[in-house]
Amino acid sequence: MKKNDRFLYLRLADKIETMIHQGVYAIGDKLPSVRSLHKEHGISISTALQVYTHLEKRGWVTAREKSGYFVQYAQPIRPQLPPVTNPSPMAAEVRIYDQVEMFLQKQKGKKFISLIGESPHISLLPTLKLNKALQQIARSHTTAYLPYGDLIGHEPLRRHIARLSLHWGGALHPEQIVVTNGAIEGAGLALRAVAKAGDTIAIESPTFFGLLQAIESLGMKALEIPTDPATGVSLDKLEHAFRKKKVQACLFTTNYNNPLGSCMPDSHKAQLALLLQQYQIPLIEDDVYGDLHFAPERPKTIKTYDRDGLVLYCSSFSKTIAPGLRIGWITGGRYHDKIARLKFMTSASTGLLPQLLITNFLEQQRMDLHLKTLRQTIHTQMMQVARIVQQCFPADTQLTRPGGGISSWVVLPSRVDTRLLHRQAMTHHFTFTPGGLFSSQDKYHHCLRLSGSNPVNEDQIWALQLLGKLIHQQLK
């Protein structure tokens, strides 16, 4: 590159960086295209590309496939990543239900500003298209949705799910799929298929309290495995548990774990699939967030590498189309027949109307375009939340940097008690999720989960800023 060109791209990059600093361009804003820089500033296309390459390296912008360049906040000044978690190496009975019920009951019937959300905000869901699909079903199916449906699910829907498996490297057949009432029913059926009361299930630490409740409801124990906030479960610690015969099965969310947001690298997934085969231990994989990836490529799954039928793969449309429809699915590998029987004994079949609605949506709409917009919006909201945490929380706050999903895990100074913090927040009419709900052990009380599912409006900003003030007050 000529010295003059280098001077030009650095000078222009500095100008754009200054405008981001000053708030002219906010997080999530689209920046001028490469072609616009070329025309407006009289520079070559290669020099214009160099401007954005430089800003990318500095952490100010991110490229989105076929969409251009967008503002993110500077990586060098992000809060520090939390360390690998360090749970007790002993299995424990799960007794989380009462805590979760109390947490939910306190908010029942009251209006709070919510920093909570396991699914995208309703404003991000394809409401108009679903309403249109519902009208079409009412006209074309009349009474077809009134009887019981196929015991393992509506066949056209199972065909669509089989096709979607190509995105994560699968090649499912519709007959390998059982449609469930959300992924959580799939996880429950899978647990019953591979283990019994008193058995120990390996889980991530921390993990979603809904999965802990599923383990608790079946009288099983949980062994929490140390988990890296970026790369997921420690395979060394997990293999040690396998070798010592400490667990009968595993239950992991390998793509964007809730609450950490960790994503196991594909190479680790392949390695884990080999470990399962070596020790003949089944694994239940909850992949409800896999489609909410921020990078262009969707991460693969452990099921992608399963050659022995030991991975029971669960997912749903709750995080991408509509949580209230409660449509999930499971492909159970060697446990398929047992899962189908358990499904029949538990709930006979899943409601046909929501299955018809999802099927119509998938047939009539471009799922890829819907997901692209959804992912970009959630990514922006996650960055906005992270920016406010950086500005308003204590300087030694640690924060995960998920590459997808909707959850961020915040580790505060050890003196902070997020149980007390939550009670204080509720007196100010806002709410978040305390960290203690994500463990079967008495842990993570200085941690909390924040959600990127909600539009970051004035109420959200006020609540996050006030949360920062309350944290500072506890530290005085």
**Domains defined along the chain, listed by start:** 3-76 (1.10.10.10), 92-97+125-364 (3.40.640.10)
330 has pLDDT over 60: yes
Residue 7: band (very low, low, confident or very high) from pLDDT cuts 50, 70, 90: low
5 has pLDDT over 70: no
Residue 73: band (very low, low, confident or very high) from pLDDT cuts 50, 70, 90: low
Q: Between these two residues, 121 and 42, which has the higher pLDDT value? A: 121
3-state secondary structure the chain: CCHHHHHHHHHHHHHHHHHHHCCCCCCCCECCCHHHHHHHHCCCHHHHHHHHHHHHHCCCEEEECCCEEEECCCHHHCCECCCCCCCCCCCEECCCHHHHHHHHHHHCCCCCEECCCCCCCHHHCCHHHHHHHHHHHHHHHCCCCCCCCCCCCCHHHHHHHHHHHHHHCCCCCHHHEEEEEHHHHHHHHHHHHHCCCCCEEEEEECCCHHHHHHHHHCCCEEEEEEEECCCEECHHHHHHHHHCCCCCEEEECCECCCCCCCECCHHHHHHHHHHHHHHCCCEEEECCCCCCECCCCCCCCCHHHCCCCCEEEEEECCCCCCHHHCEEEEECHHHHHHHHHHHHHHHCCCCHHHHHHHHHHHHHCCHHHHHHHHHHHHHHHHHHHHHHHHHHCCCCCEECCCCECCEEEEECCCCCCHHHHHHHHHHCCEECEEHHHHCCCCCCCCEEEEECCCCCCHHHHHHHHHHHHHHHHHCC
Instruction: Find the mean pLDDT for residues 89-107.
Output: 89
Q: Between these two residues, 56 and 184, which has the higher pLDDT value? A: 184
| pLDDT score at 296 | 84
CB of 264 closer than 8 Å to CB of 254: yes
What mean pLDDT value characterizes the chain? 92
CB of 429 closer than 8 Å to CB of 466: no
Report the C-alpha gap between 138 and 156 in whole angstroms: 18
| pLDDT score at 64 | 85
Report the C-alpha gap between 305 and 274 in whole angstroms: 8
| pLDDT score at 6 | 54
78 has pLDDT over 70: no
Tens of pLDDT, residue by residue over 371-397, are 999 998 998 899 889 989 988 999 999
Q: Is the peptide bond before 434 cis (omega within 30 degrees of 0)?
A: no
Identify residue 369 by its one-letter amino acid code. Answer: L
Tens of pLDDT, residue by residue over 250-277, are 999 999 999 999 999 999 999 999 999 9
| pLDDT score at 336 | 97
| Exposed / middle / buried, residue 165 (Cβ in 10 Å: 0-12, 13-18, 19+) | buried
Block residue for tokens 């690998």: 84
Report the C-alpha gap between 319 and 406 in whole angstroms: 9
318 has pLDDT over 70: yes
280 has pLDDT over 60: yes
Tens of pLDDT, residue by residue over 422-463, are 999 999 999 999 999 999 999 999 999 999 999 999 999 999
Report the C-alpha gap between 330 and 316 in whole angstroms: 9
Residue 131: band (very low, low, confident or very high) from pLDDT cuts 50, 70, 90: very high
* pTM for the model: 0.87
